[in-house]
Structure 1
Amino acid sequence: MTRLEHLNITVPDIDAALAFLTIIAPDFKVRKDVKSHTSHRWAHVGNEQCYFALQEPHLDSLSPSNAQKAYKNFGVNHIALVVESIEIIEENLVKEGYRRGILAPEEAYRKRAYFFDAAGFEWELTEYLSDNPDEMYLYE
């Protein structure tokens, strides 16, 4: 069975990325955080099944920018995670000042929420209320 093992994302601030991830994925732990004096900082954060490889800009990047516009330019539109207790996660994200993305329609067998992290990445958070694939995934 194919599964996602990790995503490698360049972020402007690893500490800000870790702060966001601890809210949306409380089971994620920092596996490794390398703060080198001679190279860029990087960190791996996740659980036993998957992780995010976060890194600061490098390779002679003098002034990185975020010119990507989701759903308009080539690139990542959003990153999706399956979560538990989505209402608590939403409450904590709002309390910490994270900006909401699009509003997802109400559905019988899943709850979804979209939020932007400090770097501008949009995250889709989904809590499934069924284990039946015919109910979980609506393609209407």
Structure 2
Amino acid sequence: MIRLEHVNLVVSDMDAMLKFYRAAMPHWQVRGGGESSWYGKPRRWLHFGDDYSYIALSDNGEGGNRDLTGHQQGLAHFAFVTTDLNALRQRMQEAGYQVDKEGQSTEFRDNVYYIDPAGFEVEFVCYTSDNPQERNNYD
């Protein structure tokens, strides 16, 4: 079995990123962090997650993220599964974050997209079936 353990994001404002992801995933915590150097440039880093998955954040990022409406190479989005999409929507709204776009809901799946403070598109998906054929129906 292989599973995704973490995503490593270079950002300019780590505190803004933590605010966003804490609102989305209040059960996650800072697992560790510190200071280091990346090719001669000092940086602060941390791991935010649970015992099994996390987001690695490093600050001192330069420039902007790719244009999500364009066709440049790069990360399009990444997704997290939630068991309660309505609760996530409520937490995000209360924290001041608005839905960027609605997903293509089906009978067995509902999803929504947000843009985090670094400009990454983040999808949150909720499945209402444990049957893979229903969950992964692309018709």
> Which TM-score band (shorter chain)?
0.7 to 0.9
Partners of 2:65 and 2:105 in 1: how far apart?
32
Deviation at 1:117, TM superposition (A): 1.1
Residue identity matched to 2:91: N
Q: Structure 1 residues 110 and 67 mapped into 2: Cα distance closer, same or farther (>3 Å)?
A: closer
Q: Are 1:4 and 2:4 counterparts?
A: yes
The Cα shift of 1:125 comes to: 0.1
2: CA distance, partners of 1:72 / 1:100: 22
The number of residue pairs the alignment matches comes to 135
Are 2:32 and 1:29 aligned?
Answer: no
Please say if residues 83 and 126 of structure 1, whose CA atoms lie closer than 8 Å, have aligned partners that are also in contact.
yes
1:12 maps to a residue whose letter is S
- d(CA) in 1 for partners of 2:9 and 2:113? 18
Q: Unaligned 5+ residue runs, structure 1?
A: 59-63
Give SS of 2:129's match. coil
| Distance apart, 1:134 and its partner CA | 0.4
Structure 2: which 5+ runs fail to align? none
Q: Quote the Cα distance in structure 1 between the aligned partners of 2:57 and 2:65.
A: 19
Q: How high is the sequence identity, in percent, across the aligned residues?
A: 33
Query: Which moved further from structure 2: 41-50 or 70-79?
Result: 70-79
Give the alignment's TM-score, normalised by structure 1.
Answer: 0.86
**Would you tell me which structure has more strand in proportion to its own residues?**
2
Query: Match for 1:121: what amino acid?
Result: F
TM-score (norm 2): 0.87
For the 8 Å contact 1:24–1:83, the answer to whether it is kept is no
Q: How does 1:1-140 map to 2 (within 5 A)?
A: 1-34=1-34, 39-57=42-60, 64-70=62-68, 72-140=71-139
Across the aligned residues of Structure 1 and Structure 2, the Cα RMSD in angstroms comes to 2.0
